[in-house]
Amino acid sequence: MNQEVARVRIEKLRKELSNHNHQYYVLSQPLISDLKYDLLMQQLMTLEKEFPVFFDPNSPSQRVGNDINKVFVQVEHKTPMLSLGNTYSFEELIAFDKRIRKEIDEQFEYVTELKYDGTAISLVYEHGRLIRAVTRGDGTRGDDVTDNVRTIKRIPLVLMGNDYPDLFEIRGEIIIPRPDFDRMNMEREAKGELPFANPRNASSGTLKMQNSAEVAKRPLDCLFYSIIGDNLPYSSHFENLLAAKQWDFKVSEHIKKHKDLSGVFNYIEKWNMKRDNLPFDIDGVVIKINSFSLQEKLGSIAKSPRWAISYKFKPEQVETRLLDVTYQVGRTGVITPVAILEPVVIAGTTVKRSSLHNADQIELLDIHYGDIVYVEKGGEIIPKVVGVDKSFRVPGSRPVQFITNCPGCGTSLVRKEGEVNHYCPNELNCPPQIKGKIEHFISRKAMNIEGLGEETIGLLFKNQLIRNVGDLYDLKKEQIVPMERLGEKSAENIIKSIEQSKEVPFSRVLFAIGIRFVGETVAKTLAGRFRSIEQLKNANFNELTGVEEIGDKIAESIIEFFLKDKNLFLIERLKSYGLQLEAYQTQPELKSGKLERLSFVITGTFGRHSREEIKSLIELHGGKNVAAVSSKTSYLLAGDKPGPAKLSKAGELDIDILSEEGFLRMIE
């Protein structure tokens, strides 16, 4: 490459990287993956090294990316917040190790930590009290976000103990745990707001909000990874982090020390396999020299410390082609666009379909038929399209436009003001809605009508034998026998199971009829407070919201349900068939009051009892089952493979964690 070609290429790379820095650090809207960014940066650094005549102190290679928001007061970091050099292979880690050993002629330890995918923060403590919180900024200066950080409940305002230095700085990563992020997005969508793309963008954007009261409503958390100060208790990184735990800082239990690279490699391989089990996102592993004196000896280059490096996992994001877009109709009428993709493997599974969420998301992506799209698994579970590679777009390709009519019945779609979803208003005659409601009604946790699956429901609907859940109780065996893949025995079992469903308790009937936002646990709570469907129908807004766990949204949905004549007619019809619409008929006699005024959250699997049996035992002894851990929870009853989010929440709130054996001893 001659000098002129190199100059043009360098200028282009600098401009492109500067733009990506702005998108990532300022707008929190990255346009490319970390891997692609690192490859572009490597190209630039290689060219600048080969052609030093084009050196520029303002090149992106000479500085850390900038996330400064001019609205906040700017504060200079006493020690620059450098970014880490990245590697994607063990060979590069071996080269890193060799460079260190050339300069250090003594034994040393490595420390490995999970690389949290959030936004960096620096906290300064004086005499055990938080005095300042500053973002990374450009590495030299950052935004003072102290007021916002004070709202994060897991960050200590006053330290515990008395063996901390009078003045020190601790650095960490502001994150939003995955379960909290998913719950927050569900709440945003319910209010008609756009969901966040990922926890990292959400935490970064939240930290820069001007109203700290709004920040307090977001589920921010913080994990700490570095301490800086003149009078720290130890002369090594690992030991100081352990000390910080005693001062009430949240330090990951997964930090480890190693004598050589073999331990580092094992650690990386372990977390590359197990990262899906963590309640927060990570994108790699950080490797550091443990000794502070050796860190000082090795020093830093303009962009990164020479004593640390990050090993980044290859992103769980792939490229494939969009073949088509179809639309699903949910039982509540909500229309969901679904991308039909060329089959592609993500995290070990073949993906052919992916959610496009709603019309706003399609417009935001500016997606065209035939586009090359980026697909990843939301929370590593649900596939979703997260971007488009427009450089491969075929000229003249047709943009995806959200449909205007229901694919199930042809009715014009509506979209309520302030909501993100379109829905079909034809709930009485729209086939997908009708079948969806019936499938929910017969499900195991609802009426538990066996022998009726999705295909059989489809056949019954096709043959005009059912149009709503009430029609199930008018079915006759002779109507079912002639149907495809059924017969005498199957028909007998279906009719028998329908008849048995009349004994299903009120709480499950309430869940089965499908009031929006009334799930299994909420239905049980309502049935405990309002002992019949009549009492619930006549309850006003204040009476509903006065029940624990019943918020405004649920109360409004219940009231709206009973205002519709079709729903009142259905309730009367179910009464006439003898379904249990009063709670007193099925309330079991208490065995004891040993668990009176105690509430339990259940997580995991149990050896001696099923989850349903455990729940029943709690109620038989006067206790209460609740769905989510809160400050009012008495115990988290945890079996094998408990949910990490519930464990984490219980730890934060100092809720006692109880084993199955411990629980059984309580009720003996």
Asked whether the beta carbons of 375 and 346 are under 8 A apart, the reply is: yes
Element (H, E) at 429: none
Residue located via tokens 């307090």? 216
Asked whether the beta carbons of 144 and 213 are under 8 A apart, the reply is: no
Q: Are strands 599-603 and 635-638 parallel, antiparallel or unpaired?
A: parallel
Measure CA 41 to chain center: 30
Q: By three-state DSSP, how is residue 65 classified? A: coil
**Alpha-carbon Rg of the chain, whole angstroms?**
29
Q: How far apart are the first and last CA of the chain?
A: 82
Asked whether the beta carbons of 14 and 59 are under 8 A apart, the reply is: yes
**Cα–Cα distances in Å, from 135 out to 19, 224, 391?**
20, 14, 34
Please give the single-letter amino acid code of residue 290: N
Q: Are strands 382-389 and 372-378 parallel, antiparallel or unpaired?
A: antiparallel
**Residue 115 is among the residues annotated as catalytic for this protein:** yes
Q: Which of 320, 294, 319, 323 lies closest to 307 in space, CA to CA? A: 294
Q: How far apart are CA 8 and CA 16, in angstroms?
A: 12
The token pair that represents 307 in the structure block: 């004593």
Q: By three-state DSSP, how is residue 58 classified? A: coil
Residue located via tokens 């030299």? 140
Q: How far apart are CA 276 and CA 265, in angstroms?
A: 19
**Cα–Cα distances in Å, from 477 out to 150, 151, 577?**
66, 63, 17
Angle at 386 between CA 383 and CA 392, to 5 degrees: 115
28: number of Cβ within 10 Å: 21
The token pair that represents 20 in the structure block: 């990506």
Q: How far apart are CA 308 and CA 237, in angstroms?
A: 12
Q: How far apart are CA 312 and CA 315, in angstroms?
A: 8
Q: How far apart are CA 480 and CA 466, in angstroms?
A: 11
Asked whether the beta carbons of 454 and 442 are under 8 A apart, the reply is: no
Q: How far apart are CA 355 and CA 369, in angstroms?
A: 15
**Cα–Cα distances in Å, from 322 out to 67, 317, 339, 355, 395?**
34, 15, 7, 12, 15
Q: Which one of the listed residues 115, 250, 377, 649 is annotated catalytic?
A: 115
The angle, 0 to 180 degrees and rounded to 10, between the axes of the packed helices 178-190 and 644-652 is: 100
Element (H, E) at 119: strand 119-126
Residues 6+ apart with CB under 8 A from 25: 65, 66, 67
Asked whether the beta carbons of 194 and 202 are under 8 A apart, the reply is: no
Residue located via tokens 């005499």? 127
Q: By three-state DSSP, how is residue 363 classified? A: helix
Q: By three-state DSSP, how is residue 224 classified? A: strand
Residue-by-residue DSSP string for 15-33: HHHHHHHIIIIISS--SS-
Residues designated catalytic: 115
